[in-house]
Amino acid sequence: MDDSERRGIGMTSQRTRQRLVERLRLEGIRNESVLAAIGSTPRHLFVDEALASRAYEDTALPIGDGQTISQPFVVARMTEALIDEGIPQRVLEVGTGSGYQAAILGQLVPEVYTVERIRRLTDQARRRLRDLGYRNVRVRHADGNTGWEGDGPFDGILVTAAPRGVPPELFAQLSDGGRLVVPEGAQGKPQELVCYRRQGDEFSRENLGLVNFVPMLGGTQ
């Protein structure tokens, strides 16, 4: 994609995107930098062309391999929980999917690391993020149950697939003072969105409401 094409797409969808931002504001998203990031991210480029016309509805959409790009409200809510009390320097996302959540994070925090277990989605997201110019986002094909070895600890961890319980490696890779936002619970029913805060070896837990995520699985494909 060349620059003029990217600008052209941005122009035509700017108004629709702004409507989405207003809707999220009405639904209770307060953080202006999160709203601005959503307002400036071309979500239609993170889904198949056939679904592009629905990209600015506040709904999850299929991205192939049985996976989904998250609902914008949930992306906003999780991002807000992660950055509300201060911008983390280094954030790990587990479950890259389309790359949309990583693109939002890439505009708000200095360093983003994102891991995806399905190779096709990993490669597609890496290409997309590179083409759109997000140079501070690193994408890895691996099982995120073990976090991201080598570059931790992370000041923030955001899990966008639902584990039954948080893998201990993720707690271990969270810095002191850091936050971990995760949908916790079994599949087939809504999960509890939880924000953990680390203080030393203590982890406090805050419930943020019910959400619906695909399950966090093991291994790679």
Distance from C-alpha of 96 to C-alpha of 122, rounded to nearest angstrom: 7
Catalytic-residue membership of 13: no
Footprint of ligand SAH on residues 102-161 (CB under 6 A)? 115-118, 121, 143-145, 160-161
Q: How far is CA 218 from CA 150, 167, 174, in A?
A: 20, 11, 20
Residues 73, 100, 134, 148: which binds ligand SAH (CB under 6 A)?
100
**Is there a contact between 179 and 197 (Cβ–Cβ < 8 Å)?**
yes
Residue spans of beta strands (DSSP E) within the chain: 61-64, 67-69, 90-94, 111-116, 137-141, 154-159, 174-184, 191-199, 202-211
Residues 37, 109, 182, 214: which binds ligand SAH (CB under 6 A)?
214
Q: Does 174 bind ligand SAH (CB under 6 A)?
A: no
For ligand SAH, give the closer residue by CB, 62 or 209.
Answer: 62
The token duo for 47 is 């889904």
Q: Does 13 bind ligand SAH (CB under 6 A)?
A: no
Phi first, then psi: give them for residue 170, nearest 5 degrees: -70, -45
Which stretch in 81-89, 91-99, 127-135, 147-155 sits in contact with ligand SAH by CB under 6 A? 91-99
Q: Does 173 bind ligand SAH (CB under 6 A)?
A: no
Distance from C-alpha of 149 to C-alpha of 214, rounded to nearest angstrom: 24
Which stretch in 17-25, 35-43, 61-69, 193-201 sits in contact with ligand SAH by CB under 6 A? 61-69
For ligand SAH, give the closer residue by CB, 145 or 191.
Answer: 145
**Is there a contact between 169 and 145 (Cβ–Cβ < 8 Å)?**
yes
The token duo for 176 is 């002191």
For ligand SAH, give the closer residue by CB, 8 or 79.
Answer: 79
Which residue ranges make up the site for ligand SAH (CB under 6 A)? 67-70, 94-95, 97-98, 100-101, 115-118, 121, 143-145, 160-161, 214, 216-218
